[in-house]
């Protein structure tokens, strides 16, 4: 505990939840079993992150590319998502968690969209952990949609193309109003960002672990934060004070 108190906590941690299927296969179980266990790990890490002093947590739950998976797996993931949104609503009320869903929600089934709206509206004023879930999300798609919003303003004469700033682009993104992640964790030993938070992770520190997501624990999160503390944080070669 004393060691944790001496650590500087990243304000915002993002996580690519990888390895659910491989973890299940290693135990002789179907891939969907891994996804169910992975959802339970999300709940645990939300609670532990907030206890550690992390203010923002963003998880990559379902990418725009995940639609290419076998239909039965996608259907199972959507069923799991429906159940998780119910659970998340209860957890958020209990822990004062503020939840936002990022990504293109228009492709999700109408009942899922309604549950997302209910979850976001009912937790909007909560002052606990700010928890972002990326669903049908892709970094390139997020930037594309932001460009469309800006282009519409230019077309209507509301915005001069010469006056477009990075701040205006940021405000058109799904993650508007949320600080960029300080630390991005990817589990199961994959070392790429897979189209996740491309704009927001320009100065993010990366941490890769061989641990599969269902086995990711409070201790593993602490290891990641400890490694983050050993980094020399620089922005444009200017040391952070």
Query: Has 66 been annotated as catalytic?
Result: yes
Q: Measured in whole angstroms, how far is the alpha carbon of residue 53 from the centre of its chain?
A: 17
Q: How far apart are CA 78 and CA 127, in angstroms?
A: 29
- Pick the catalytic residue from 6, 18, 72, 111: 18
Contact 183, 228 (CB under 8 A): yes
- Pick the catalytic residue from 6, 20, 66, 141: 66
Count how many Cα atoms sit within 13 Å of the Cα of residue 143 in the half-sphere of its side chain.
10
Query: Has 32 been annotated as catalytic?
Result: no
Active site members: 18, 66
């Amino acid at each position: 505990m004393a060691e944790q108190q001496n650590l500087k906590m990243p304000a915002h941690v993002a996580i690519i939840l990888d390895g659910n299927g491989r973890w299940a296969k290693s135990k002789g179980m179907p891939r969907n079993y891994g996804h169910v266990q992975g959802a339970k790990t999300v709940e645990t890490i939300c609670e532990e992150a907030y206890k550690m002093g992390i203010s923002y947590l963003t998880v990559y739950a379902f990418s725009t590319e995940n639609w290419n998976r076998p239909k039965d797996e996608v259907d199972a993931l959507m069923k799991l998502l429906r159940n998780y949104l119910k659970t998340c609503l209860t957890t958020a009320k209990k822990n004062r968690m503020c939840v936002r869903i990022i990504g293109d929600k228009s492709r999700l089934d109408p009942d899922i969209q309604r549950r997302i709206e209910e979850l976001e509206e009912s937790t909007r004023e909560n002052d606990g952990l700010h928890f972002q879930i990326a669903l049908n999300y892709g970094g390139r798609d997020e930037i594309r949609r932001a460009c469309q919003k800006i282009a519409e303003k230019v077309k209507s004469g509301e915005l001069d193309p010469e006056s477009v700033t990075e701040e205006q682009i940021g405000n058109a993104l799904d993650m508007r109003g949320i600080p960029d992640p300080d630390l991005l964790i990817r589990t199961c030993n994959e070392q790429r960002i897979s189209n996740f938070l491309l704009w927001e992770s320009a100065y993010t520190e990366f941490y890769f672990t061989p641990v599969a997501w269902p086995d990711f624990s409070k201790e593993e999160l602490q290891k990641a934060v400890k490694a983050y503390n050993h980094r020399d944080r620089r922005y444009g070669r200017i040391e952070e004070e």
